[in-house]
Structure 1
């Protein structure tokens, strides 16, 4: 739509969307017209295909009627004329030629907006007329459409689900987003299953489904509502033989592979379900109840019942719990909800408890609060079992830990395992949010209750490990025998290794845990919530290893698969944002969408990280004072535990760059770590590097595994040496810092580091290029400063290809193989290998 609006603003050219019926091209056209009507200043009229040869004259009459002018005056002057043509390729050939001619006449103020099935009717198109195919969107494009263009708060994994379920259809995605609740778009509540049918889906498949026979229509409905994917189940329920099924029109919409079937396009399932009457759906479920294996049979029997079925709730609850154990929490949630609608008494509470836990593990946190809250409000003994998951659900849904509710239960039933679990959960949740006193208090409470009752040691151990990850207390050494805790304990073990700078080991621990949880036959499989924790922890291990590009890719993949925004009180979202700023210099759509769906204002820890992001952005833009102000506000709440892995600017250096030495000295007095104290001393006194004591410290710092800390320290050391007059000695340190950042994939950060180091690297030794021509020396000198080939071409008024040729000759004459090796050679360091 942006290109279309640009054409209207320019007053000539236009935009034609091309695609099959139902692709969404007409919807994009209408939405563009809505934007044009809101801004005003244009005369908008439709050129109707149905008018035939008189389409253009009748369009002109409509236009003059709108403008209040006479046809004898020609087209109205002083306004942009927007001609709207749906099905442009159905126009008469002569009319088509005249309209295209008008669209290409810049002085006429004429803009064409239209749709067509193919682009051939508008080819060869005048240069300003944009023809764009409306292609199926992938998950990233869907997120861009909904978040950036439609302004909706949408979770990336929900955008991915919509792209999958709607086959990337632009019209269907936009129509679906309009009917879904905001909480469904953010992932806080479950999407309907199947998704409701939309006009775009009807436009694509309506005619084909209308042509089905009654038997084919029922068979396709059975396929659509069946939870079993066995072909034998479909055959038994439909009453067809395999040959009859494959030879029918049903086979146009269903794939058969190795004894299983699958509806080829999820939109068919939605449309078939929406078009079926209640009686037809009931009939389909009755047939499947008779044909399905145990468990699935009860599910279909329950859905076929128009009244309650005594005893059906118990097997459904068992089915839901089994699905939850296998990691299929969304299916478990569906089954548990159905069980609750059929159950009475204790069975109903058990079903609601299972539904709440399944919703929580799926990321449907508002649904979880609803179901678990219902259980908690009962007077039965089972109520306390909902307290722990309810505590987590409230914190994830609303951003605060329900301390008051837990305190009431501690006073009421201190010996209950559910109370111990809730106290342990509260400790971990407060630790994530940086609430040290509350986390410590609840951890002590959980330990006291567990010791008094003799139960809950596994839950307390997990809470202790979780708190230690965030810098509160020591990590416990004992392991747990409770299977469902193993995944979360692996998360803690991995993050502890990251904190200890053993990121390779951390990656192995997390990968092994993920593999074990995904292996067929394992005791417990990863639910979406656990998967999100494992994936974000893996990304943090990559950050600690200095591979920011890999970490960003991991976070992006995780966000489109699982509820990443819920992880570690928003640390997953903060990580995505930090990496986006360091790599691109700005906040990406993915990072912005994750931040937008955070509950409330986000935790204090996440707000701190947002200030750090602003400090980086201000620094990249050359606004040193702003950068220092943002960083100062961020440092009012120091980072703790795993939060320290996220790169942050050096506070002392930031204040010095802002010409605020007193504040830099105050910041230096607060530094505790060896690397930070070394950098502070070097920043405040460039001659400090000559001190024997700091010489030994420098050697120690170089053994630190954290790539970011190493880069900061090397950069500060090079800066200090340069400012102390040891320019030649300082250059290698500056280049090594830049090389570390370059290898991390953080393009924006690398560019900033190169720019800040430029003063120390602009005067290379005179003998480095004795064998080069003047032009080759010019190219090499710019490349050494980190200038891209394209920018070198612009600076020297050359083509990019010519620059590449000159650079290849430079590499050959100087016997180097990369830009980095060239930099080291120019600055008197020989090859890259001699620096490590």
Structure 2
């Protein structure tokens, strides 16, 4: 039966269900009819309803939603299977990676959608536990094109709207007078009642019980405001005391578990059911409306609520729920209860429920009588909040812990928070002040200095580390500090002997060391390896950061589409994790890719968004990269003066506003822009700079780059440009080939110029580097050969990533695991990839991509 006055909303939901969007949120005030609308629209669906008493229990709502399809988890990749089973309490497993749990939810939903599609309904979203909410929204943002639809109902608050950003939203307003009239007695003053209730359907339905016959007939004036706000409270108050007590037990139990409610002492449920406030459905208790639960608890005294929680703690057979009820029953600090909550938080963390663990640990701290232990639990709560994507809460909890017991470990955590989502220069100061001779804190200080671009602090960290026990990390700190201080012989010797393990963290330090040696290709290789290791190992809370460097590495290696795909993934993960500075890194890298490809609007948009974060947060490395992207955009478009000014400004920017690595990485372009504008002195200074930086480099790419820069300022350019062709980077070789072809054509050696210009145009076309391709084709036409722009890439970034992994021999399940996809999604993409590339097997795909 169609709901009164909701024809338009039902039509919009029907349109959503038939369309290609993955999620729709129905928002409205209490009583607006959200649940009724979803019930009408989704008679057959997986269903979960948030309950306030369960809002702190990690994965409670997810368990409710996915229980009917949990058996399909065995079809998922092993790590995802174990993660989802642990989250749902179906297996003993430690994942500690909330992204992995979210990916498993995504995969399970897609698996359950076969063959006829799947509709999931989540009611009272505002009361979902955070772990469930995070996992469902992670999936919702990645379900486009799949046969899964997610319908959400929630109260219309600023907090909810923020949580559901990016999800299509349908807001329920009050009913109009014509619709309201269908819910009221015939003689009622419709217009006035509709105005006083704002057309709220619940208020309209209940108003007849609250008004006198004369008021309903219009013979007596209506009270203003109408007494509908506490309609359920009045109904609860009219119940006998034992029925009110039974209703209170059911309200505080939260799950509707009839057995638990009866064991806790509810002896008059039948009277509560006869009142119409609840219904008994088999072994489940259902409230007619969520506000009845609130009315029941509000009507009780604090003593009554504590007594019920105490009974419920004895009645439940689940340790986490028992701890929750014990905490609500506590009159004051109680170490036994605090420990029970701490154990519950540990279990939540082991399943990836960090945000919920943070709240539980904060409650445990409040109940802890011992001050040092209270500080310890607040610290653990802060770390959990940070890993759960709640940086603001993390800082607040850490400040409370610090006020109780300030330690270097607390300062290290505070520094990590700042480095990931705050002021990088402040993080650097925190680490250095707290470090003493602790290698981990000295490394953190050096890492922060590398983000800020403060060489003085990096040198100081290396100096302090020198007398510590030898290790790979210590050697990198000491070696890079020596190089930055000008002692190249010492620094080079130490760094050449430093060998990292196949650990993502050590590989990233190795990448930093290679950069300081002037070996961009080695740095890119180390960073790419770090990205692969991080995916396989499921590094908690660090994957978005590792992907910064992996994406940069792929760009430096000329794999532009793969670089952009990694940054798009990293940006989404960084935003979901609350890692603001990491988001700036991915935005800056996306700006660089867009600059090379000549996508002007995209480049400016990404760069400006990155700068809006990086400048106030003093992340000089990202400021430098974003400015470099804008300069490269100008250079590719032939705006040489603008490019020269931007690139020159980068060389004088201080810590927090620029970075030596960005200056080094942009040197070849700075030389080219300076030469194009006639600033030969600046060009020669830049050549001297890169020559000195690369003096210890031994790789072919580093030598080739120096040769190319020298060729632009020396008379005998052709031999140097030919030498510069000896590089392993297709993009850099194409840039050199373009310069060589231009030079040969100007020297009237047209036949010699054409092969170089042709090769450059081919590479630029394949990479989608349109400005550079046009420039090469223009030179080729001037040399007497006409060619058209290459066809754009036929694969999307997502398809390209899948194709590359499959070509490397990675199984579909492992591809799904690494890319946070479902195996079915991987299969679907391969179904599209093969005909696009004209291949029919994995072998043919590998052969094609190896060319």
TM-score, structure 1 normalization? 0.54
> 5+ residue gaps in structure 2?
1-8, 15-23, 30-118, 120-133, 144-148, 176-197, 207-231, 237-242, 270-278, 486-490, 692-701, 794-835, 838-847
Higher-RCO chain (CA-CA 8 Å, sequence separation at least 6): 2
The whole-number CA distance in structure 2 between the counterparts of 1:465 and 1:200 is: 65
Give per-residue Cα distances to partners, 1:740-796, cap 9 Å, x unaligned.
Answer: 333334xxxx22112322432225768xxxxxxxxxxxxxx5x6255989xxxxxxx
| 1:336 counterpart residue number | 361
| 1:680 counterpart residue number | 709
Using a 3 Å threshold, how does the CA distance of structure 1 residues 369 and 650 change in structure 2: closer, same or farther? same
The reply to whether residue 347 of structure 1 matches residue 361 of structure 2 is no
| 1:368 counterpart residue number | 394
| 1:516 counterpart residue number | 537
The whole-number CA distance in structure 2 between the counterparts of 1:330 and 1:322 is: 12
| 1:731 counterpart residue number | 754
| 1:100 counterpart residue number | none
The whole-number CA distance in structure 2 between the counterparts of 1:317 and 1:592 is: 43
The whole-number CA distance in structure 2 between the counterparts of 1:376 and 1:434 is: 29
1:721 alignment partner, one of 740, 744, 749: 744
Report the Cα offset of residue 354 of structure 1: 0.7
The reply to whether residue 626 of structure 1 matches residue 642 of structure 2 is yes
The whole-number CA distance in structure 2 between the counterparts of 1:469 and 1:569 is: 30
Q: How does 1:252-271 map to 2 (within 5 A)?
A: none
The reply to whether residue 489 of structure 1 matches residue 506 of structure 2 is yes
The whole-number CA distance in structure 2 between the counterparts of 1:488 and 1:674 is: 28
Using a 3 Å threshold, how does the CA distance of structure 1 residues 726 and 458 change in structure 2: closer, same or farther? closer
The reply to whether residue 435 of structure 1 matches residue 439 of structure 2 is no
| 1:611 counterpart residue number | 627
Using a 3 Å threshold, how does the CA distance of structure 1 residues 356 and 732 change in structure 2: closer, same or farther? same
Report the Cα offset of residue 545 of structure 1: 3.1
The reply to whether residue 585 of structure 1 matches residue 600 of structure 2 is yes
| 2:788 counterpart residue number | 784
The whole-number CA distance in structure 1 between the counterparts of 2:432 and 2:476 is: 20
Report the Cα offset of residue 626 of structure 1: 1.0
Contact 1:433/1:605 (8 A) holds in 2? yes
The whole-number CA distance in structure 2 between the counterparts of 1:332 and 1:461 is: 37
The whole-number CA distance in structure 1 between the counterparts of 2:247 and 2:764 is: 60
2:773 alignment partner, one of 739, 754, 764: 754
Contact 1:647/1:708 (8 A) holds in 2? no
Using a 3 Å threshold, how does the CA distance of structure 1 residues 491 and 688 change in structure 2: closer, same or farther? closer
Report the Cα offset of residue 719 of structure 1: 1.9
Give per-residue Cα distances to partners, 1:206-264, cap 9 Å, x unaligned.
Answer: 879x99999999999789779xxx99999999999xx9758979699xxxxxxxxxxxx
Contact 1:323/1:332 (8 A) holds in 2? yes
The whole-number CA distance in structure 2 between the counterparts of 1:592 and 1:177 is: 27
The reply to whether residue 574 of structure 1 matches residue 588 of structure 2 is yes
Partner of 1:19, secondary structure, is helix
| 2:85 counterpart residue number | none
Q: How does 1:92-491 map to 2 (within 5 A)?
A: 176=158, 277=297, 287=312, 290-303=315-328, 305=330, 307-321=332-346, 323-324=348-349, 327-344=352-369, 345-378=371-404, 380=405, 383-396=407-420, 397-401=422-426, 414=436, 421-448=440-467, 450-451=468-469, 474=495, 477=498, 488-489=505-506, 491=508
| 2:275 counterpart residue number | none
The reply to whether residue 650 of structure 1 matches residue 676 of structure 2 is no
> 5+ residue gaps in structure 1?
1-15, 28-135, 137-156, 188-196, 253-267, 518-525, 767-780, 790-817, 820-832
| 1:106 counterpart residue number | none
Using a 3 Å threshold, how does the CA distance of structure 1 residues 788 and 610 change in structure 2: closer, same or farther? closer
The whole-number CA distance in structure 2 between the counterparts of 1:596 and 1:159 is: 30
Using a 3 Å threshold, how does the CA distance of structure 1 residues 682 and 171 change in structure 2: closer, same or farther? farther
Using a 3 Å threshold, how does the CA distance of structure 1 residues 694 and 322 change in structure 2: closer, same or farther? same
Report the Cα offset of residue 488 of structure 1: 3.0
The whole-number CA distance in structure 1 between the counterparts of 2:164 and 2:611 is: 14
TM-score, structure 2 normalization? 0.53
